[in-house]
Structure 1
């Protein structure tokens, strides 16, 4: 699972997560501890959970045409940016820093 931090001022609450899921993906299911987005563009299943002020995400994708894949990726990145406050570029830098700490 990928781990995403929240920028100061962006609250990691279930209400905000649910609002963003509805806004960007048109809905979700809740299965115990996970929020699930199913069959959205190139996404077969997207599993999300909030824990310790972090977002954990795991996705399973399906093969699709390039245009659908690009639209899906853009939607996912907009969702993460609006939810966490970090752009795709900033998230990449944070992940690199975390990986360097582990080495």
Structure 2
């Protein structure tokens, strides 16, 4: 499980996460506070929030042949949810 900081300008909640997943045409299901989805290369994407941070747990599909596409998609999803680019998240995590 990884936690990601969220920009103060992003009002992250369960409804916002669902809205972003719908905008990306992703199927998902809700299990309590967790929202579970998948994508080619990721068997399971489990995301939830406490209102301040985004938490994500993923399960990789080792049989998928194009991991760079999956990484690009997941980084775009995180950017949309947190408001931070990959570079900005890396800088924040290294502090």
Map residues 23-62 of structure 1 onto 2, 5 A cutoff: 23-24=23-24, 26-38=26-38, 40-62=39-61
**What's the RMSD between the two structures over aligned residues?**
1.3
**Secondary structure in 1 aligned to 2:77?**
helix
TM-score by length of 1: 0.83
Q: How many residues align?
A: 94
Q: CA deviation at 1:28?
A: 0.9
Highest CA radius of gyration, 1 or 2?
1
Quote the Cα distance in structure 2 between the aligned partners of 1:13 and 1:32.
13
Of 71, 92, 95, 1:94 maps to: 92
1:22 is paired with a residue of what secondary structure?
Answer: helix
More helix by share: 1
1:84 aligns with 2:82: yes
Take 2:25 and 2:83, find their aligned partners in 1: how far apart are those partners?
Answer: 18
Per-residue deviation, 1:8: 2.2
1:24-44 Cα shifts (integer Å, max 9, x gaps): 251211112211013x11001
**Runs of 4 or more consecutive aligned structure 1 residues displaced over 4 Å after TM superposition:** none
Please, what TM-score do these two structures have when normalized by structure 2?
0.89
- Residues 46, 57 of structure 1: 8 Å contact kept: yes
